A and B are shown apart, each in its own frame.
Chain A
């Protein structure tokens, strides 16, 4: 079996985390550590999907299902009673429903950024995290899509969101960004799902070949589309993946831009801002990476993936979070500058109101979580500390929710006429739906962990040193006939594989 010895300047941190975060021009830092070979990667990852899940999984799943049923019950109550059970009313007609929508769509951004943009930029470290980041994207978009669906008030007529020819001669307003949203989010979901699935095919084949259970073999067999691992299959797979990556890349930027148009094209001070599209996209990537870290840190510890999702991955994600956090901080500040510079009374008032007015706590929660908290990531010791990273990531998760609350609710609370001002107070249904959406997200995510390959095994192997080996006679490293489903014992001594 191929092994690489630990490179001398990689001290062990936190007990068993190997420090591969060094930047040394003479040597490429390994992305997979702990002397792992191809077969080890296969074993570690397939075990998670094929073996009986650990006890905590059942506990977590029960908790997630509990929250999901809370969501189901609340939506049922909402459908029976009507949207009056929410806290929204004039003038705050958009509140938790749209805040949660934008929050979840934002989280859905990191997955495609990692899998598409980082792929096109040949950022090899993406391979360890792209699979579950994409899964997170899909599930976050599902959570997001729930909210406009129930926000329409009569969810059984939610299909009116789509321009379907009908005998009422009634169409959505094509000039409204709300309709563009339907297309943007719909396209994003479809392409992300395709991208996720296509990327998973070789790994599903590995699961098929590794599973002992006939039903599992057949199911994984169907979903791996009869993958054989032939050269031709790989060639077409790589082409398809590249094309889908190119297709997804503009979507990463377009979706949240269009979501920001929902606000930016209106006339309301606090919404009517040209900076919104880039600001929203940066915020979405910021929040998305925070959620990836929130999921990755426990997963790597609980499933023994510390050698695959290494400190270097955490470090890189922290850097992305810091960079996008700075863009967000800049956007926050420049909004105040613009308000002052505009010399526009209502614009200035809207921003004063944010900081000192109707709900200053929301603004300060946002500002502390999103602007102050990430600054600690300038320090390498903070980026390499899992505890600090996890805490900062959760600050950002909360901060990004408050950002949407600040933009949506505080802008609506006080607009032009003081006679039409009003406050917003969430009802218990609002809070239950927010909690319930986490239930939906984690139910889907835990099912994903249990049944699908959570690491892109085939891709991870392609960036390991063994894939680019110059073996100098070492039979293991000279091999070129590697198949994704083999175990270390298939090739004792690395003898040439008989033709299949």
Chain B
């Protein structure tokens, strides 16, 4: 058999056109996949804005905002316990036996009051079980409610305002000064540090935050970013 006659497989002509398509597809895919993962799977995409429908059409905007009820009136354990208590039906009825007791929205609460069956609230700010978050540790160190929960006093339905991802926690654990305030201002939704003459708001916050960090003996960065601080 003569070599020049033997059939030898070489790329057909259309491969010349397929090749740039392939290169674009590989490069494009190489850009698309990480972009999709980075932004699509980000906690700001999949977690922020989570607002489940609650069994009671309760409005924080009305109670905490308009009426100015302190957070701790209902979430009473927040200063002393890891878990910030969800109010019992009895807490609601403490006022609502007399106040607005004919409202349509109050029906499920009254039903619970009569049957003794608790209201099944849906947890909005739900951390994974391996992250040991303690409310009292934060509240007593001068971390405001608003830092993690957002402006609850303006929310008709409570939603997740912050990312609550590990990097989001760590950001504050590394530089807590940005978020510290005096203990008596913890539940204040509109707290602003008192600025000195010619001082910017951020500079004032950092100054106050630093003082408070000293005063409340907040741990150093090494302790605050140690694995076992949050994962036990």
Contact = CB atoms under 8 A, between A and B. Distances in A.
Interface in B4-30: 4, 6, 8-11, 15
B81 to A, nearest CB: 27
A208 B8 contact: yes
Contacts of A168: 165-167, 170
Nearest to B15: A226
9 contacts: A167-B42, A167-B165, A167-B166, A167-B168, A221-B9, A485-B8, A490-B2, A497-B3, A498-B4
Nearest to A499: B4
Interface of A: 165-170, 208-209, 217-218, 220-222, 226, 228, 483, 485-486, 489-490, 497-498, 500
Contacts of B221: none
A228 B42 CA distance: 49
A169 B171 contact: yes
Contacts of B38: 165
B1 interface: yes
A141 B11 CA distance: 33
A221 B42 contact: no
Contacts of A497: 3
B166 A169 contact: yes
Given A165-B38, A500-B4, A226 B10 contact: yes
A167 B43 contact: yes
Contacts of A208: 8-9
A483 B3 contact: yes
Contact of A167 (B2, B3, B4, B167): B167
A188 B6 CA distance: 40
Contacts of B1: 489-490
Contacts of A166: 167
A166 B168 CA distance: 11
A486 B166 contact: no
A486 B6 CA distance: 10
Q: Which of B10, B42, B168, B170 has the most CB of A within 10 A?
A: B10
A490 B167 contact: no
B151 interface: no
Contacts of B4: 498, 500
Interface in B139-186: 163, 165-168, 170-171
B10 A486 contact: no
A226 B167 contact: no
Given A169-B167, A226-B15, A490-B2, 12 more contacts: A165-B38, A167-B41, A167-B43, A167-B163, A167-B166, A170-B166, A170-B167, A221-B9, A226-B11, A485-B3, A490-B3, A497-B3
A490 B5 CA distance: 11
Contacts of A221: 9-11
B20 to A, nearest CB: 16
Q: Which 6 residue pairs across A and B have the least CB separation, nearest first?
A: A169-B167, A168-B166, A221-B9, A217-B9, A167-B165, A490-B3
Contacts of B3: 483, 485-486, 490, 497
A486 B2 CA distance: 9
Contacts of A167: 41-43, 163, 165-168
Contacts of A228: 10
Contacts of B168: 167
Nearest to B170: A169
Nearest to A216: B9
Contacts of B2: 490
Nearest to A491: B3
A489 B9 CA distance: 20
Nearest to A168: B166
B166 A209 contact: no
Contacts of B42: 167
A226 B18 CA distance: 14
A217 B163 CA distance: 55
B9 A218 contact: yes
Contacts of B170: 168-169
A46 to B, nearest CB: 14
B52 to A, nearest CB: 22
Contacts of B41: 167
A152 to B, nearest CB: 15
B122 to A, nearest CB: 24
A217 B10 CA distance: 9
B97 to A, nearest CB: 46
Contacts of A483: 3
A159 B8 CA distance: 43
Nearest to B225: A169
A228 B11 CA distance: 11
Contacts of B165: 167-168
A432 B215 CA distance: 59
Contacts of A485: 3, 8
Contacts of B43: 167
Contacts of B10: 221, 226, 228
A210 to B, nearest CB: 10
Contacts of A226: 10-11, 15
B47 to A, nearest CB: 10
Given A167-B163, A167-B165, A497-B3, A209 B171 contact: no
Nearest to B11: A226
A166 B165 CA distance: 10
A209 B8 contact: yes
A443 to B, nearest CB: 28
Nearest to B227: A170
